[in-house]
Amino acid sequence: MSKYLTTIGLEVHAELHTNSKMWCGCKNDPRENRPNVNICEVCMAHPGTLPVANKEAIKKVITVGTAVGATIADFTEFDRKNYFYPDIPKGYQLSQYKLPIVSGGSINGVELTRIHLEEDTASSSHDNGTTLVNYNRAGVPLMELVTEPVVHSAEQAGDFARELQRILRYVGASEANMEMGQMRIEANISVSTDPNKFGTKVEVKNINSFAAVESAIKYEVERHIDLIESGGKVVQETRGWDENKQETFSQRKKENAHDYRYFPDPDLPKLYLSKLFDIESIKNSLPELPSAKKARYLSYNLKDDVVEILIDNVALARYFDNTITHFDMWDKDGLKEVSKAHVQAAANYLISDVLGLLKKENKELSESTLPAPRTFSVLINMTLDGELSSRGAKDLLPYVMNGQEIDIKKLAEEKGLIQKNDPELLKKIVAEVLAESEKQVAEYKSGKESMFMYFVGQCMKKSKGAGNPSLFQQLLKEALT
């Protein structure tokens, strides 16, 4: 065991997925490429304008809070965080200081301190000595989640961030796309030789991917240990992450920290959340959360990598769940259970074949590019019942990737893909094959067992791929002994 204790606390910002901005009616559109089109007097802070709080945004923060088992405040308010910068038109950011909407809760066993609601800043770009500011993002609702200093490794921090992203997406709070800056992570890191005392913490910003979360933390931990071992001292500061160099760099020392002079905003009313929202019904209408979905998928004995792919893609998981509701339910120990074999086959066909086809044809996953769930479930049923070979199922897929309910049985008959299970017919084929293969039969009988698969192959060929291979094997064994 290392004699160093690493401690990490995370601060995560996520842009909320709402129709309009936090204090005005301007569109909240992260995909708008034209600068300064979604702006108005309010988000540009013209004198005399007043903010009106976006109820949808507050509800989304409450929803996230209920999803992580946190406490929702009865009463909350917004505060002014004062600082001057071109990306903050009012000269202050509306945020929450003493009374966050959400307190406590946990994700992956990592305790949360709070989740509060604030507004995003404009985005600036620096070019040739000029600074260009785009105010489309100014005033977009932004939630900030802060964890307790209870994370102890880079991997744990990465897992936490990935799980948070899933939760935000499952409950529809945020698209949480890190490349688009919709989810932004800051890591506070300290290293100590004394388990009862924290070391000096450093905050790392500008982390734009899960991989960068882990790399930045690993880099900082090593830097701290090197400093301590060489008799140096870690200074409390804010550092940035340089993705190209894969290292952190100093941005701002503690002594230059801002004094934000927080105070409650007098233009916004205090909010009695328990009167404005039915918290119980928000809690009761939560969707199945990623951890529960994962446990359910594992209970079908799906492979770990299959489960990861499914739970990381909300639309794919929804489609998969729709498909498996069409399978028959079996009574097991008084419980209705779906056949694991069917669920597993559906997952495998979905991930390798259906996704493979989409990729090949360069198509997005959507209702109209996937088979109708019921149609897909029939395809799986027929495969497991031996009516369709796995080859036949793959051959049929391209005809059903259009969201339409299709009569798979009819289609398979038309394409000559129904697998033949009629023993009389197959027996005839077996007899023909053996009669035509005198030499090979003699070899087989003199001990060359590998000949067996040759006979199976000939039978399949004679049946034009429609015969059931396992039935052929059984009949061949009977005929050869």
Task: Find the shortest distance in angstroms from Cβ 97 to ligand ADP.
Answer: 11
| Rounded Cα distance, 248 and 337, in Å | 52
Would you call 18 exposed, middle or buried from its count of C-beta atoms within 10 A (0-12, 13-18, 19+)?
buried
Instruction: For residue 154, give Cα distances in angstroms to 20, 83, 210, 431, 466.
Output: 36, 32, 10, 65, 53
Q: Report in angstroms how near the CB of residue 44 gets to Zn ion at its nearest.
A: 7
43 contact, one of ligand ADP, Zn ion, none, CB 5-8 Å limit per kind: Zn ion
| Distance of closest approach, residue 95 Cβ to ligand ADP, in angstroms | 13
Q: Is-contact 95 116, C-beta < 8 A?
A: yes
Nearer to Zn ion, 43 or 382 (CB): 43
Of the candidates 66, 414, 95, 474, the residue with the CA atom closest to the CA atom of residue 268? 95
11 in contact with ligand ADP (CB under 6 A): yes
Distance CA 278, CA 263 (A): 28
Q: How far is the CB of 94 from ligand ADP (least distance, A)?
A: 18
Closest CA to 6 of 252, 258, 198: 198
Q: Does 149 bind ligand ADP (CB under 6 A)?
A: yes
Burial of 270-303, coded b for 16+ CB within 10 Å and e otherwise, reads: ebebeeebebeebeeeeeebbeebbeebeebebe
Q: Which entry of Zn ion, ligand ADP, none binds 7, CB below 5 to 8 A by partner kind?
A: ligand ADP
Contact partner at residue 146 from Zn ion, ligand ADP, none, CB < 5 to 8 Å by partner kind: ligand ADP
Instruction: Provide the 10 A C-beta neighbour count for residue 420.
Output: 19
Q: Residue 63 touches which of ligand ADP, Zn ion, none (CB < 5 to 8 A by kind)?
A: none
Which of residues 149 and 465 has its CB atom nearest to ligand ADP in the complex? 149
Q: Residue 198 interacts with ligand ADP (CB under 6 A)?
A: yes
| Span 156-195, contacts to ligand ADP by CB under 6 A | 188-190
Residues within window 21-80 making contact with Zn ion, judged by CB under 5 A: 24, 26, 40, 42-43
Residue 20 interacts, among ligand ADP, Zn ion, none and using kind-specific CB cut-offs from 5 to 8 Å, with none
Nearest to 119 by CA among 82, 94, 136: 94
Asked whether the beta carbons of 154 and 214 are under 8 A apart, the reply is: yes
Q: Is 201 in the site for ligand ADP (CB under 6 A)?
A: yes
Taking the complex as a whole, the smallest distance from the CB of residue 198 to ligand ADP amounts, in Å, to 3
Contacts to ligand ADP by CB under 6 A: 7-11, 146-149, 188-190, 198, 201
